[in-house]
Structure 1
């Protein structure tokens, strides 16, 4: 059977070696960059509003109009969704490695281009920024299915979950790095320009140098991606793609012999037998796929969709939530650059105390607890803490209770990452056949980004004040932060229910999980029946 191919058996039982850690770092730096690029925009959106939308003699600092804010925050997710579908499909057609380098180049170029967004009018600058961030997201989208698939196909079955989760855990360091870079840049400018409370300069005009702040923060994302390009191109194609999809056992053995530093036997006869079997040649839209993996795909797509509604709402708009409860001062009480510093400080604290630890708890425990238990637990506690924040919301807005709010809000991040934010990435890379693995992971991830788009656009409007006095004053209306948090709690509860459709993949080989063993077993049984008697 496919699992009995020597090269795949060798990968399944291989001890943890240096090449595992190398693969984690190479693939993980892509996710470091992905997270940095996706979330650093939330650090500078308020600065963009103050720079480009503050009117002369205005009583308050300017803010991005809701439609512009939604576009700036959400356009990268639209690109990411498209990239996940396209590159996921392409990774199964051309191979993981051939596509891997292109996504990285696209990320580097568009990170730099985003920081160089040009235009004489605010609308022109925002349009250019959105254009480049869409294509930045397109490159980021390709990184999801390719990195997950490559790591799952390189790993052994005993610690596969930890290795894939470790790649994804680099996302936490990317979020943390975004906060740290913004702290450093804003602090440097804050000390150089002694700015009054809310005007951009003492005469009310824009300080031109402040335009550099958001551009430097966005362009820094190109650096970690660029330094890993060479090593990505040096990685060999995965043996599972070469053997099971390209049907080149000789090349698979040659590649993995170098990686594992052992002598492996080329088993071309077994590959030929597998090629003769039609039982595993079904396509994505076939009845056989629906029968074997239909519910699995429904489970991976719906849980990732629901998770990302909550996760990206929390990440992108935590600054608005912290402002609403008074943890971050009002905009008119501080300069534009100091506001960036305050927002970055809050995000860095949350990432350091809850986001990053949550990821690494998953890495440590996923191969002991299993994917199913961690995902169910994560959704459960996210639901509990969301309702605990939302129902007594007025209690948390009081000055003496703000620290309690921040602690509980941090716990929702912790259990998102020690929970479904990690497992929704891991499982689709394990349970589908090799020739459809990247495609199915891309579909699952794209469903997640659809949820992120709902979070980015929907939460922005939903969380607007619901009070009539604010509407009369010209502010957009919504259901308010409290009801928005209740909605997110309901979303997390639905995620817990749909987790029941996701299978446990702990400790099993990829071929056993995907059913790719079945094809050769059928061929062997058929050969035994038709063989002439001795």
Structure 2
């Protein structure tokens, strides 16, 4: 399809899903019907968001490589994970503003307005995407037919284990902690006040945000791989602190939220910032989107498994074990990153493209490379 077509298509899918979610309604006012309508609508939104990962990130890495090679890492992080991480405090802020205006007696109005805001943002981006050009790297190196996948996996199997495995571990931890953060906080503060819970969530997501900037600052001098190891180490340290001292630390709500936020911030600093970057840098342009998409898909499998496992873990092992398991994932993440993730800090993506094309020629592949831009 190409970068531009993929970006425009995924944006339109997100807008469609958000619109359906805003207008969701159960037959004859049925709450069950509303739930399934929302499930369908959010599923469509999820498909669009899933398509965004490889399409937007690979485009961002290629554009940054062409315009500012020495600052490719920090620029990539600021236009990807920073925007993603900023969505947390932004969403909480929008919710609190709308809730304060509408009141707790009009929660249906609150969630519909919040969903509606989710239509405006992608529509704004769509205007620019309709006018964009694919990167020079992609126009020069795209392989649209007869992609030699067996040769791709033969060359990049080690990198795929690294990016897929690390992404699985990261999403296994961060997604359930994001989805259930409100539940976790409300269980600690012993207060069913939805506004108070949202305020603590806003603080939590705000504490997690500085990790994005620290990762952007460290990714060049420290290197991609070492920065990711540092972030997974934060899961190990803060996960163990919270998990082993859970009963005592939860008695002091601000202290619990700070340590919880620092664990989330470590995730942003390391795998949150670096996974998209290394998944975009580790593979040649012709197969960058495919390998990135595969890595992200394995990550989302980790997110689904982690989300499903979260409640059973709490019920059968205790609430502290959700944090201890995060620490265990941190240890495994360190090992996977050290053994399998390549460090492409400062390497021109065009150099890897040239090596990849030489590799294909040496293995007898003959095919058409490049695309014509309309």
**Fold shared by both chains (TM-score > 0.5):** yes
* Higher mean displacement: 362-371 or 170-179: 362-371
Does 1:293 find its partner at 2:147?
no
**Cross-structure match for 1:124:** 33
**Match of 1:495?**
333
> Could you tell me how far 1:97 is from its partner in structure 2?
0.7
Q: Tell me by how many angstroms 1:136 deviates.
A: 0.4
Determine if contact 1:312/1:452 at 8 Å carries over to the other structure. Answer: yes
SS for the counterpart of 1:155 is: helix
Matched, 1:454 2:305: yes
1:307: which partner in 2? 170
Q: C-alpha displacement at 1:388, in angstroms?
A: 0.7
Q: Does 1:358 align with 2:211?
A: yes
Question: Does 1:179 find its partner at 2:92?
Answer: yes
Q: Deviations over 1:93-144 (max 9, x none)?
A: x210122111111111211211221112221111000001001000011111
Q: 2:44 aligns with which of 135, 139, 144?
A: 135
Distance in 1 (CA, whole Å) between partners of 2:162 and 2:181 is: 28
Give the aligned length: 355
2:305 is aligned with 1:442: no
Kept in 1: contact 2:16–2:44 (CA 8 A): no
The separation in 1 between residues aligned to 2:143 and 2:236, in whole angstroms, is 44
In 2, Cα distance between the equivalents of 1:105 and 1:290? 32
Considering only aligned residues, what root-mean-square deviation do their CA atoms show, in Å?
A: 2.1
CA distance in 1, matches of 2:107, 2:362: 68
Give the number of the structure whose alpha-carbon radius of gyration is greater. Answer: 1
**CA distance in structure 2 between the aligned counterparts of 1:246 and 1:210, rounded to whole angstroms:** 50
Partner of 1:283: 148
2:356 is aligned to: 516
Deviations 1:132-178 (A, max 9, x none): 10010000111110111101111233111112111221112211110
CA contact (8 A) 2:186 2:197 kept: no
The runs of at least 4 consecutive aligned structure 1 residues that moved more than 4 Å come to: 519-523
- Tell me the equivalent position of 2:371: none
The correspondence of residues 337-348 of structure 1 with structure 2, limited to 5 A, is: 339=194, 341-348=195-202
Paired residue secondary structure (1:111): helix
Structure 2 CA distance for aligned equivalents of residues 215 and 376 of structure 1: 40
TM alignment of 1:188-199, pairs within 5 A: 188-190=101-103
Distance of 1:245 and 1:393 partners within structure 2:
51
User: Match for residue 343 of structure 2?
Assistant: 504
Cα deviation, residue 517, structure 1:
5.8
- Asked whether the equivalents of residues 367 and 507 of structure 1 are also in contact (C-alpha less than 8 Å), the reply is yes
Question: Aligned partners of 1:220 and 1:312: how far apart in 2?
Answer: 22
SS in 1 for 2:282: coil
**Conservation of the 8 A alpha-carbon contact between 1:505 and 1:513:** no
Q: Is the 8 A contact 1:310 1:492 kept in 2?
A: no
1:331-365 CA-to-partner distances (Å, cap 9, x unmatched) read: 2xx4xxxx1x223211211222x222111222233
Query: What corresponds to 2:223 in structure 1?
Result: 370
Asked if the contact 2:22–2:113 (Cα under 8 Å) also holds between the matched residues in 1, the reply is yes
Residues 145, 441 of structure 1: 8 Å contact kept? yes
Contact 2:92 2:201 in 1 (8 A): yes
Flag the 1:283–1:485 CA change in 2: closer, same or farther, 3 A.
same
Matched, 1:245 2:142: yes
C-alpha distance in 2 between matches for 1:210 and 1:245: 49
- The offset of 1:244, in angstroms, is 1.4
TM-score (ref. length: structure 2): 0.89
CA distance in 1, matches of 2:5, 2:254: 49
Query: Paired residue for 1:73?
Result: none
Look up the match of 2:267: 416
The structure with the greater share of residues assigned to helix is 2
Distance in 2 (alpha carbons) for counterparts of 1:461 and 1:122: 26
Residues 175-211 of structure 1: CA distance to partner in whole angstroms, max 9, x if unpaired? 1110110010111123xx6xxxxxxxxxxxxx5x331
